[in-house]
Amino acid sequence: MDFAAARKVMLDSQIRVNDVTDRDLQAAFGAVERERFCAPDRAFSAYADVQPEVAGERRLMLPRDLGKLMQALDARAGEKALVLAGPYAAAVLARMGLTVTAQDSDGAVFELTGEALAEEGVATVVAPLNQPQGESYDLIVSEAAVPARPEAWLAALRPGGRLAVVERSGPIGKAVLYVRGREGVSRRELFDASPAVLTELIPEPAFTL
């Protein structure tokens, strides 16, 4: 399979046409080998309009959704980023010149993607996703959805930092952008999306008598 040709088709038909106009972001999508971030037997579908398996419950986000989500972050070279459950997104941000840490609770994700991430200069951390490692991040992003507002993630941002994530409690989720200010956090809805929800962040049912 000609992955380079497929990458160009993805860029032209799924990203540029969906109002992802940031040229640095476009260039990163056009350069990072997406097929290296999904299970080897799913590499053929890396550039299709699907969510191929990475490892375990992890899936790659649709290119269109990830492009729009990351454009909302307005990422810039030299910034410090944390990517949760999203090794491909981490590689894209690193290619844009950011200092990136990729965190996942499933070590199998990095067994598969660790070599590609190391080549991009991405640091990797295996830790529970409700416990973001580090602090004072300029931006945080996830390729998976969360069931509710991720307070621990917001706390890991510096003042002025941005978090882009899909919040999903039903069939259709909403991509949102949070910006942390000195006095609080603003929230803006972006578009509809339906990536898989991080099951480990779903609260345990509470029973009362």
Instruction: Give 18-30 pLDDT, tens digit per residue.
Output: 989 999 999 999 9
**Structural domains of the chain, with CATH:** 3-198 (3.40.50.150)
- Residue 204, pLDDT score: 73
Candidates 165, 103, 99, 91; CA nearest to 137 is: 99
Does the predicted model carry a pTM greater than 0.85?
Answer: yes
- CB within 8 Å of 108: residues ≥ 6 apart: 55, 56
Q: Is residue 141 scored above 80 in pLDDT?
A: yes
Say if CB 203 and CB 150 are below 8 A apart: no
pLDDT band at 203; cut points 50, 70, 90: confident
Q: Is residue 208 scored above 70 in pLDDT?
A: no
Q: What percent of the chain has pLDDT over 90?
A: 92
Whole-number mean pLDDT of the chain? 95
- pLDDT tens digit string along 166-202? 999 999 999 999 999 988 999 999 999 999 999 999 8
